[in-house]
Amino acid sequence: MSPRLSLRPTRFGLGFLLLVVLTLIGCVNYGLSLGYGLTFLLSGVWIMTAAPLNRVARGLVLHLDAPSHVSAGHSAPFQVRAQTSGPAGLLSVQLRSEAGDMTCVTLRVPPGETARTLLEMPVRARGLLTLASVQVAVLDPLGLWELRGPMEVSGPVTVFPAPESGAPPPLRHGAGAGEGQRRQPGREDFSGLRPYAAGDSPRQISWRHAARTGQLLTRETDAPLGVVRHLAWTDTAGETEARLSRLAAWIETLRTEGTPFSLELPGVHLPSGSGEAHVRAAQTALARHTPLPQPPEVARSSLKPARPDGVALRATLLALGVALLPLVLRVPVWASVLTFALLTYAAVRTRRALPPAPAWLLGLLAGLGGVALNAQYGTLLGRDGGTAILAMLVALKSLETRTPRDGRLLVLLGLFITATHFFHDQGPLTALHSLLSVAALLSAAALWVAPLPKALSLRPALRLLGLAAPVAVTLFVLFPRPDGPLWTLPLQGPAQTGLANQITAGEFSALAQDDRVAFRADFQGEVPSPENRYWRGPVFEAYDGVSWTQVRVPGPPPSLEPTGPVWIYSLTLEPNGSPWLLALDAPTRAPQGAVLTSAFQAATFRPSGTRRRYLLESRPARLGVSEHRERLSFDLILPEGQSPRARALAQGWQTLPPQRRIEAALNYLRRGGFTYTLSPPTLPEANRVDAFLFGSRTGFCEHYASSFAFLMRAAGLPARIVGGYLGGEINPDGGYMIVRQQDAHAWTEVWLPEQGWVRVDPTAVVAPARVNTNLSTALTQPQATTAAEPGPTAQLRLRLDAVQNRWNEWVVGYDSAQQRDLLTRAGLGDVGSVPYLVVLPLLLTLAFVPAFLLQRAQARPKDPAARSLHDLGARLGVPRAPGETVTAYLERAAARHPHLREQLGEVRAAYHTARYAAGDPAAALQDLRLAVRQVRPGRRPGSGNGSR
């Protein structure tokens, strides 16, 4: 029979959908562009798995064969037979008895074959075993969807009472009879022939008579009356079930001996007889003896949970290991060792039957791990602490996995952990790892659905991901992206490489030894010259004699007067944990989600915890010509009593014009024998500027900027320090600029009347190469004007970085602004417009076409002859039923299309020739394909184009 089924997600499918929703919310809030891709890929998988189920169910034919009888205390074997004329599928059959017992089996149904399996239903009491329900479900390979529905319940199964163990022999009634006495049916002497009855032994059939007349007759025998045993209810004592069990034991004994017997029960009399039919009649009488016992209730506490499949669990643990692998680079060593040790123990335990870890030990490990990670990161709610504790909890969960539901939960947790890696990085390697991790986890999920295959194979999962890719790409491009977060929750983590909140001696020299990328800038037009590549970051105005720090000075915003060309560029900022946007000095327009401060800093509303892309606009300008007086007064403050020699030196310049004061300070640095180095001597906290200007005379950019700002303030000019980056390397493969951490720089701004804040870089006086070339050249050749050509290693590095930049541009940096620009250029308007609402469902529909074509191709049989008949059935709209012969099928098709009877006859002859004729079948198969093509259901004889 073909049950009527309805489509619905399974519990695992609902959990999978919840995971997709949660990851989508996280991607929207934190702007994880690569997370969008993973979320939409999983969404495509969730949809794609449901698509072929209807095709599988349409050709499904299912039979449930119940046993005729069973003994109490045993299991009733129900045989499941399934066939399908469509593609291969997974079938789940669940039986539930009225007593509350349940059994379930999942089997694979290959196309064109009959799949068979047994369902063992426990039987606890005699009487009638009645099925309360039979549920049939067609599952997808991952178990996300099911086509579920009820199947007609078969009749009750007779349950014989269990024979008593160690029962005494049956009682004998009366003495033995001699010849001539009354006789009873027995197995001794021939007494005649009678018509055959079901249950008669084949040895008793008169085969000679059957050969002569064609009628089955059974030889009857009899025996003296004394040989027949009489089993009576009155011969037993005790409870009803105990008496029936003893009678069942006596019947089994007499059946084994071949002794005829009669049975006497209250209200039931079974005459003497022998053979299997007689025994079954007696056992049935015992089974239906009233009152029938009530079956014992099945206590939930007594039901042991199904043990997880060892191969599926080990495959899941391996996939979890792949998903957790990037954490090794981020969490403490002890946390990595503990996490992977727990996963390894869980895998070994499935092979060697090791005892499960006690609950108190798991709780202790979770508590200690949480305390240690909280001490390491300061919180468990941040990015690093949260992912580390999640990984440890998942590893602990693997130790208590006892059911398939636990195994599927591990798969969902593994997918969630894969998504959390995008908080740290969204590069191509992370994308490749996430794809491998998802494929491994989905392959492990498939092993929890069906018993085969018994190995972790990535091919089906990769094929499914490939089919879901068009849906993922369509949603990635067109799914609406908000301009801001849904809520604000900082992604806390450890200190990251980048500019600090203050300047102290050695701060920038430490960054100069780090060649990692700080950001990339892609200019739309002309690239600024080296002397204009000052990337403005934090501005430091408060000085305590040791450190320079930022301060918020109240007052109206200062003026900004552009004086040069406009530079428009895309800035791809690497994660640095700070809110500053390193804009080319000076920024004139902040991107959406950022502001320009009164110190002309571009800053975002939240720190950069992930790689982000911004569109910025800068141009040379006069800054703060109309600056607020309170700020100018604040930028003249010097700590009392600090560096008296430097103060006295600068006070001697106060009578000079402002520009001459700057020149005097620069000349002092130019002619004072100062050198540029990454490893200057340590300066004392007291009189630090004096120790540098009149003592060591060697240092890095922060030494020169700090000392120069001190001299300017002492000379009566407002001054402050600007931190940021200087320079950048042009990548010839992409035409963009790479700025590394080693390009970090500090310079000074001095306020001059009628000019505003003027940039002065005292480091350029000591090492001009720092402005004209790069850091390495400035350290070795301070007066150089050009940098050396990059070697082969550097060129390869630039090519790889070009790939990274394109990835950042098209994937990581794809945001709401780029989406609006793309929709506008495509003529679709904005998100929500009528063209957008028309094109989006159209493209999503087209995205399913590859999957539809592949599933249609997979539904065709691999055998060429059978494939031709399959194509014929699709053309006629008459599919071939499972197990249907070719002749019967073509006769049925001819009855549906009588005008094609002759052509279908040619198809039958060609099929038999191709299938059974001797020799090479290639020509016969070609004839069969030609005969199938000649069958045209739309054309009838005489329906040509002739005139009437």
Walk me through the domains of the chain, giving residue ranges and CATH numbers. Answer: 49-160 (2.60.40.10), 183-287 (no CATH), 306-468 (no CATH), 502-792 (no CATH), 816-851 (no CATH), 860-933 (no CATH)
Say what percent of the chain tops pLDDT 90.
34
Residue 438 reports pLDDT greater than 50: yes
Q: Which of 843, 819, 853, 847 is nearest to 45 (CA)?
A: 847
Token code pair at residue 834: 């009528």
Model pLDDT, residue 303: 43
Model pLDDT, residue 742: 86
Residue 932 reports pLDDT greater than 90: no
Backbone angles phi and psi of 27, in degrees to 5: -65, -40
Model pLDDT, residue 509: 62
| 745 tagged catalytic | yes
Token code pair at residue 186: 């027995």
Strands 60-65 and 75-84: antiparallel
Q: Given 421, 701, 703, 743, which residue is catalytic?
A: 701
For the segment 194-231, what is each residue's pLDDT rounded down to a tens digit? 677 666 667 777 777 777 777 777 776 655 545 688 89
Average pLDDT over residues 885-909: 87
| 701 tagged catalytic | yes
- Is 138:123 a contact under the CB 8 Å cutoff? no
* Helices 658-671, 644-651: inter-axial angle, 10-degree rounding: 130
Q: Given 425, 585, 761, 927, which residue is catalytic?
A: 761
Residue 183 reports pLDDT greater than 60: no
Model pLDDT, residue 222: 58
Please give the model's pTM, rounded to 2 decimal places.
0.77
**CA 770/CA 790 separation, integer angstroms:** 17
Mean residue pLDDT of the chain comes to: 84
DSSP labels, 154-213: PPPEEEEPPPPTTPPPPPP-S----TTS-EEEEEEEEEEEEE--TT--GGGB-HHHHHHH
Strands 145-150 and 131-139: antiparallel
**CA 910/CA 361 separation, integer angstroms:** 72
Confidence tier at 494 by pLDDT (50, 70, 90):
very low
Strands 183-195 and 621-623: unpaired
**CA 872/CA 889 separation, integer angstroms:** 11
Average pLDDT over residues 853-866: 73
Average pLDDT over residues 220-249: 82
Beta bridge partners of 560: 623
Residue 492 reports pLDDT greater than 90: no
Average pLDDT over residues 282-310: 70
**Highest mean predicted confidence (pLDDT) among 524-538, 649-663, 763-777, 791-805:** 649-663
Say what percent of the chain tops pLDDT 70.
88
Q: Given 745, 801, 870, 927, which residue is catalytic?
A: 745
